[in-house]
Copies of this chain bind each other. A is one copy, B any other.
């Protein structure tokens, strides 16, 4: 089975002068994005890794690779105007059958077992999405009110989200909707049932400075 990973690292980049995007910041001794790529390479060193980067970050990434002597083979694809368009661009360059994991560049703490679970289940059922239990109480907003809901009926969704390549390519022919917050929502809109596998609790998405501190603290616990 041919395996691909699309690592998504933002669509249209912020101006780099104002703020360095989170995926380029270091945790431990390496930029976040390199940790993330390393995970997939450790999972399977024959996996084909496609990195989706905003056009105006390409040069910065190249320089970062030189600085950190980062030599894992990666095909870089320009991001689109939304995450949806970036993934579509990346899928467009895949021309063989097999399975593809789509993963957030800012989730460097995914473990090998999680990646493996998504590929194993996707091979059987066509797709598999990493998820975890909701561990806090949740309430649902309904108009001006909010009501308690039973959290055991909900799952927190992570990445990787892994799909049969032909099927996900076809799903991405749908017209873009802003409700497409992840690949599972696109795949579902194309008529497929989504299958969940357990992720790992440390597999957080780094979106703010607290998350950097948390990720740094958790880094040494991931295998």
Contacts and interface: CB of A to CB of B under 8 A. Distances in A.
A55 interface: no
A213 B218 contact: yes
Given A140-B153, A157-B138, A182-B137, A148 B188 contact: yes
What is the interface of chain A mostly: helix, strand, loop, or mixed? mixed
A221 B150 CA distance: 32
Nearest to A137: B157
Contacts of A196: 139, 146
A184 B184 CA distance: 32
A213 B157 CA distance: 23
B151 A139 contact: no
Interface string A110-137: 0000000000000000000101001111
Total copies of the chain = 2
Interface of A: 129, 131, 134-142, 145-158, 179, 181-182, 184-185, 188, 193-194, 196, 201-202, 205, 207-208, 210, 213-214, 216-218, 221
Contacts of A194: 139, 146-148
Nearest to A209: B221
B201 A210 contact: yes
Contacts of A217: 213-214, 216-217
Given A138-B156, A213-B221, A218-B210, A145 B193 contact: yes
Contacts of A155: 138-141, 146
Given A129-B139, A146-B155, A214-B218, 7 more contacts: A137-B182, A138-B157, A139-B184, A140-B154, A142-B153, A148-B179, A214-B217
